[in-house]
Chains A and B, each alone.
Chain A
Amino acid sequence: MKTFKYIWRNIRRNPIRSLLTIMSVGFSLALMTVLYGFLESQETRKNSAAQANRIVVMNIQGFSGRLPISCVDEVRSTKFVAAAVPFAWFGGSYQDEQMPFAQFATDPESVFDVWPEYTIPPEQLEAFKTNRQGCVLDRRIAERRGWKVGDRVPLKGAIYPFDLDLEISGIFDSPKNTDSLYFHWDYLNEGLRQQDYANIDNSGTIFARISSPDSIPTVIKSIDDKYGSSDTPTRSQTEAAFFQMFVDMLGNVQVLIRNIGLAVVFSLSLVTANSMAMAMRERVTEIAVLKAIGFPRSRVLFMVLGEACTIAMLGGFLGVGMGCLFLQGMNRLMPQFFPFTVMEMLGPWIGYGLIAAAVLGLISGIVPAIRAAQMSVIDGLRRIA
């Protein structure tokens, strides 16, 4: 359309100024996109956990507390528990990498009963069970590193004074990237025993699958009651509540980030408004001429608003695009922190980001637009001389 062509030419009239405005909107929105993506991925993790009938048992003091391995069998024998495994974070490094992927010491016999949504070929599972130094890992890790069944994975202990020498027995598939490797809890425990390590026979945490969602509160209560007066009182919670703990560790960061987001949009609207006001000041005579030849106020208003919105939207596309690219990169490089794909993390935010950009355009354009529309023609024309 003719009007849009005119708007576009006006934007290109001072390309440096327009570009700087677009980039300031773009970079800020990119930053917001990344922060929101991170927050949303925590939410997504929590929400997907809510669908599984799983609970997590840990020491009431948290991760540093001890949970004897004997608890696993007792949890297993609790009514309504379908399967339970020890689940201890190893946190070893691979070659030079401090945090290559997550590694858990667990029980090969039951781990795939606790997570029935993960699939693995039966012969590979069998090999895992029988090989004490065997391990299984998420297909995404195998693909990223080009590993196959039979390859060796040496992991250097960081928390524990024991290094693992693992052989890949199998590769499993999971709906979401777990970025995890599972190995024999017994292997770790024996190794630690030989090092005279003090804190042996520790299951770390216990993950258990419950046969029906209705019985979860009963199971949690009966476990915590049983250990309430022991040396190692427990705290059991649903898997969703467990992940909520991580979200809560961020505390009010979430609220903070959302408020910062609003503040950024507001301050950006000042930047954009300033650049629009400058553009309009330079065009006073021109606007007066348009009005003299009969352009109605509404049309002048529309043109200025259109210009502000186009600039803001270009910044919006740039920002959301850059943010998505960044998150995609993080998903590939640091899946333990960004376990979801861009769409899983950001689905609605992409829309919000663009809406925020449009709103920004309207807010920043409205004052210059009204001023241009209301400007007196004769005063504008007098500027000529």
Chain B
Amino acid sequence: MSNLNADETVVVVRDVCKEFHRDQLTIPVLSGINLELSTGDYLALMGPSGSGKTTLLNLIAGLDRPTSGDVIVCGQNLGQSSEGELSKWRSRHVGFIFQMYNLIPVLTAYENVELPLTLTSLSRRDRDDHVKAALEVVGLQDRMDHYPRQLSGGQEQRVAIARAIVTDPTLLVADEPTGDLDAKSAAEILDLMHRLNTEKEFRKTIVMVTHDPNAADRARRILHLEKGLLVSEVTDNRTRATVQ
């Protein structure tokens, strides 16, 4: 276990096991995972299909609860929180980026980004400021009135990133964020995530699942999952990343 300052620890995963039950069958997916992330960490999770990457990401993001062990994120013990508490907690602390962007097709880019803010008590004007600032970060301010179908895949993913950061969460989780993009758009997304991780005003802690070694190289740490276990770790990957 590393010796990090308690304030800075964002994610603690301790002896986590996760099984799914289908009919009478028990499917063990994660069997004893330990992991810590502190503010400003950028972790890439790799591993073969079915190794449990998404499952682990969902646990860290508070979408699911472990079968045993503890998941403590931003001070909240997620395994002991109710569904309602988790939902509230997610809206405050986590931004989601999905492989298929998952924008709401009937809402414009602006409205999609505004969506998480409708859960807050912010005034209309404050919401407007936040939405425009977030769209500016991803460079799509001029596209705010467009609907998702009027945008390219890369642009959609940038809007999704704006939606993920608009509430200024501590943690960003991304499940194969470049999995559906061409190389150029993928590079833009990775650059954007790099900025969100490194620039002082953001300093987001990021957990990204990816199959793409180039994408993983941009992270500070790479973890490999195999058959429910963490098998290898590459730390301080940053030097390589910045050289590229």
Residues of A in contact with B (beta carbons under 8 Å apart): 2-3, 6, 9-10, 12-13, 285-286, 289-297, 299, 377-378, 381, 384-385
Contact = CB atoms under 8 A, between A and B. Distances in A.
B163 A293 contact: yes
Contacts of A294: 87-88, 90-92, 116, 119
Contacts of B63: 292, 377-378, 381
Contacts of B91: 293-295
B87 A13 contact: no
B102 A384 contact: yes
B64 interface: yes
Interface of B: 58, 61, 63-64, 83-84, 87-88, 90-92, 96, 98-100, 102, 104-107, 111, 114-116, 118-119, 163
A2 B98 contact: no
A293 B104 contact: no
Contacts of B87: 291, 294-297
A198 to B, nearest CB: 78
Nearest to A292: B96
B106 A289 contact: no
B147 to A, nearest CB: 10
A293 B171 CA distance: 12
Contacts of B83: 297
Contact of B102 (A2, A3, A286): A286
A98 to B, nearest CB: 56
Given A2-B114, A289-B96, 17 more contacts: A3-B118, A6-B104, A10-B106, A12-B106, A286-B104, A289-B104, A290-B115, A292-B63, A293-B90, A293-B96, A293-B119, A294-B90, A295-B87, A296-B119, A377-B64, A381-B63, A384-B100
B119 A9 contact: no
29 contacts: A2-B114, A2-B118, A6-B106, A6-B107, A9-B107, A10-B106, A12-B106, A13-B105, A13-B106, A285-B100, A286-B102, A289-B96, A289-B98, A292-B61, A293-B91, A293-B115, A294-B87, A294-B92, A294-B119, A296-B119, A377-B63, A377-B64, A378-B63, A381-B98, A384-B98, A384-B99, A384-B100, A384-B102, A385-B99
